[in-house]
Amino acid sequence: MSGISIAYFLQNVAKIKRIEILEREGEPGGLCRSFNVRGINCDIGPHVIFSKDDEMLDLMISVLGENVCRIKRSNKIYYKGRFIKYPLENDLSALPEEERNFCVKTFLNNPYANIEAKNLWQYFLKTFGEGMTDIYFRPYNNKIWKYDVSLMDTQMIDRIPNPPKTDIMKSVSGISTEGYLHQLYFFYPRQGGIHALIKAFQARFGDKIRVIVDSEVLALRRLEGLWRVTKGKGVSEDYDLVISTIPIPSLVRLCNGDMPSDVIQAASHLKYNSIMITVVGVDEDYIGDHFAVLVPDEDIIFHRVSKLNFLGEAYHHPATSLLMVEITYRKNDPVDKMSAADLREKIIVGLKKVNLIGKTARIHFMETKKFEYAYIIYDLNHKRNVDLVRKYFYDQGVHLCGRFGEFEYLNMDSVIRHAKVLSRDIEKRI
């Protein structure tokens, strides 16, 4: 999305005569690609379209044209055999009585309320109290990040709502309230999965832009005022300007170590998670008319299950349910090394244990795909390391854009916004 959107904006800059997008894969899109599973377009995790940024939201919707529908969110959290409305703090009455009382007591009498939160765990304690932190926020976040939240900084807290006290007390009384209002309704392509958005942007490309697929970049060098890019089979070409949307560690490797040691070291310390997506075709489920179920239980291998039927008729087979199971991992960890048979068993056992499918449900098929770069981890040294690397490339004239290009946890709307800001900066400079 970052490469596609920056090209989309830059094509309107008169001084730019030609733009080439060098895409390693067989089609552009990165994390916004969709893959075909038995005739159904499935994303790399559900990529729904929403935003607080009205301009970017309107742009995405307008680009999709008639191929878009508006859907009301209906997500749940599975906790001790119960489905709690998401977000948790807006449905506390659905908790077992003991846990509900614990959450209320520690929220109203919160000894952490006035602390300066220096890590994500402290932020959860300060904002929600010990009860909600212990029941949901800490176990779920430890599970998805595969990293202890006490060792993560607070850069991402703007993604987490700070609920009004009145809303939480209403939810305790059984009066359901809404959190994440900008996500209450989301948009999604009627057909084609989220990759339809990539294709829709491409359809607006003019003659200036050329997308070259199956074109992996092998090296990047500054040479006589130009950037020499070496591609497959030793083919090189020179460019006036380079924008990198690939992961920062990969970009550093392309430079063949021809940079300061502290920059190389900082890039090597950047942390991220990979993701494993398993699509399950099953004849019945107990999710009902809901989209996603979040599972904080550490004994269950997956952290989220989405029912793709919720997205429309184009996203499931007749009379069946199509479930998408998400598991984060890191290279060479136990999950990564797990055999296909063991993975299948753990997923099926987990789905049955949390009562998302019946004990005798018939599994029609399961297909798994792995993607190395999925989530940025904001460890305590993230900002220092990223700032150092960014400054180096900025000073060298290489522009960074995108979730892994900038190494920031950006959603699609933020990626497109950053691309627009960068395009304006480039226009002023050339």
Quote the distance between the C-alpha of residue 51 and its chain's center: 14
Each residue's pLDDT tens digit, 312-352: 999 999 989 999 999 999 999 999 999 999 999 999 999 99
Decide which of 375 and 161 is more confident. Answer: 375
pLDDT of residue 181: 67
- Encoded amino acid at 230, one letter: T
Asked which of 135, 150, 178 is the last residue of a domain, the reply is 178
Distance CA 318, CA 320 (A): 6
DSSP state of 88: G
Task: Find out whether 270 and 393 touch, Cβ atoms under 8 Å.
Answer: no
Q: Is residue 208 part of a domain?
A: yes
With beta carbons less than 8 A apart as the criterion, state whether 366 and 347 touch: yes
Q: Has residue 72 been placed in a domain?
A: no
In a domain, 399, yes or no: yes
Whether residues 100 and 220 fall in one domain: no
Residue 174 sits in the same domain as residue 131 = yes
Q: Is the pTM of this model over 0.85?
A: yes
Are residues 245 and 102 both part of a single domain? Answer: no
What is the tally of structural domains in the chain?
2
Q: Are residues 262 and 385 in the same domain?
A: yes
CATH number of the domain where residue 104 is located: 1.10.3110
At 174 the pLDDT is: 86
Give exposure, 2-13, as e/b (b: 16+ Cβ within 10 Å): bbbbbbbbbbee
Indicate whether 385 and 412 sit together in one domain.
Answer: yes
Rounded average pLDDT over 219-242: 92
Same domain, 207 and 264: yes
| DSSP category for residue 152 | B
Cα distance between residue 338 and residue 401, in whole Å: 34
Average pLDDT, the chain: 95
Question: Same structural domain for residues 157 and 203?
Answer: no
Rounded mean pLDDT of 38-53? Answer: 95
Is the domain of 20 the same as that of 166? Answer: no
In a shared domain, residues 259 and 406: yes
Domain end point (choices 146, 178, 210) = 178
- Residue-range definition of the domain harbouring residue 398: 2-32+56-61+194-269+379-429
Helices (H), 275-381: 334-337, 340-353
For residue 316, being part of any structural domain is answered with no
Q: Would residue 309 count as lying in a domain?
A: no
Which residues have a Cβ under 8 Å from the Cβ of 78 and sit 6 or more positions away?
84, 293, 294, 295, 296, 297, 354, 355, 356
pLDDT for 180: 64
Q: Which helix (H) or strand (E) holds 125?
A: helix 120-132
pLDDT above 70: percentage of residues in the chain: 99
Is 155 found in the same domain as 200?
Answer: no
